[in-house]
C-alpha cells in the first residue's frame, strides 16, 4: 500500500504532499553552509522526492543561490512564516530535496546518510551507522 504523506510549514499556509511518501524509510542530513542558513540551525534533514510525486501549495517564495558546485540551488520557503520547505538543483535530476522537519511522519525515521560532513560543527557527533560523505 502506498500512502500519501502531508507536511506543513509553521503557520500552516504552505503544504507539501508526497505521493508514495511511505516509501521513504530514512532521511539525509546536510551540513552545508546553505542548509545551515536556510534552516537557521547547524544542519538540515531531507529526503530526495520525485518532483512528479510532490505538490507544494501556498504562499511560497523562492531564492536562487549558487552552490560551490557552480549549480544554482533554488530554495523554496513559506512566504509568510519562513519555514524552509524544499530545494531544487539540476544535480538532483527529476527529484527535489524536501525538508523533513515539516512532516510528523519523519520523527521516527533513521538517518541513513550525512552530507558535507567537512562542515559539521564540532559539537555534533556523527550519526552511528550513517554513511558519511565529505561533500554531496
Using only C-alpha atoms, the chain has a radius of gyration, in whole angstroms, of: 14
Output the smallest distance, CB 100 to Zn ion, in A.
13
Can you say whether residue 17 is alpha, beta or left, with left for phi > 0 and alpha for psi between -120 and 50 degrees?
A: beta
Binding residue (CB under 5 A) for Zn ion from 5, 16, 32, 73: 32
Closest to 92 measured CA to CA, from 47, 57, 40: 47
Round to whole Å and give the CA distance between 125 and 131: 13
Nearer to Zn ion, 9 or 84 (CB): 9
Of 1 and 90, the one with the shorter C-beta distance to Zn ion is 90
Overall size of the chain counted in residues: 136
For the CB of residue 82, give the shortest distance to Zn ion in the complex, in Å: 7
Instruction: Lay out the site mask for Zn ion across 36-75 (x = CB under 5 A, - = otherwise).
Output: ----------------------------------------
**Among the candidate windows 3-11, 65-73, 103-111, 126-134, which touches Zn ion by CB under 5 A?**
3-11
User: CB neighbours of 122 closer than 8 A, spacing ≥ 6?
Assistant: none
Burial pattern 72-102, b for ≥16 Cβ within 10 A else e, equals ebebbbbebeebbbbbbbeebeebbbbbbbb
- Footprint of Zn ion on 69-128 (CB under 5 A): 78, 80-81
11: contact with Zn ion by CB under 5 A: yes
Footprint of Zn ion on this chain (CB under 5 A)?
A: 9, 11, 13-14, 30, 32, 35, 78, 80-81
Amino acid at each position: 500500500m502506498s500512502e500519501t504523506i502531508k507536511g506543513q510549514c509553521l503557520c500552516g499556509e504552505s503544504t507539501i504532499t508526497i505521493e508514495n511518501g511511505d516509501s521513504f524509510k530514512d532521511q539525509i542530513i546536510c551540513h552545508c553552509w546553505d542548509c545551515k542558513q536556510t534552516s537557521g540551525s547547524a544542519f538540515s534533514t531531507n529526503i530526495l522526492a520525485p518532483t512528479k510525486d510532490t505538490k507544494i501549495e501556498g504562499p511560497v517564495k523562492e531564492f536562487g543561490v549558487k552552490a560551490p558546485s557552480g549549480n544554482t540551488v533554488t530554495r523554496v520557503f513559506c512566504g509568510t512564516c519562513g519555514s524552509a520547505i524544499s530545494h531544487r538543483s539540476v544535480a538532483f535530476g527529476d527529484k527535489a530535496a524536501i525538508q523533513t522537519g515539516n512532516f510528523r511522519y519523519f520523527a521516527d525515521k533513521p538517518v541513513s546518510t550525512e552530507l558535507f560532513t567537512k562542515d559539521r560543527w564540532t559539537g555534533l557527533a556523527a550519526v552511528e551507522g550513517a554513511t558519511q560523505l565529505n561533500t554531496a
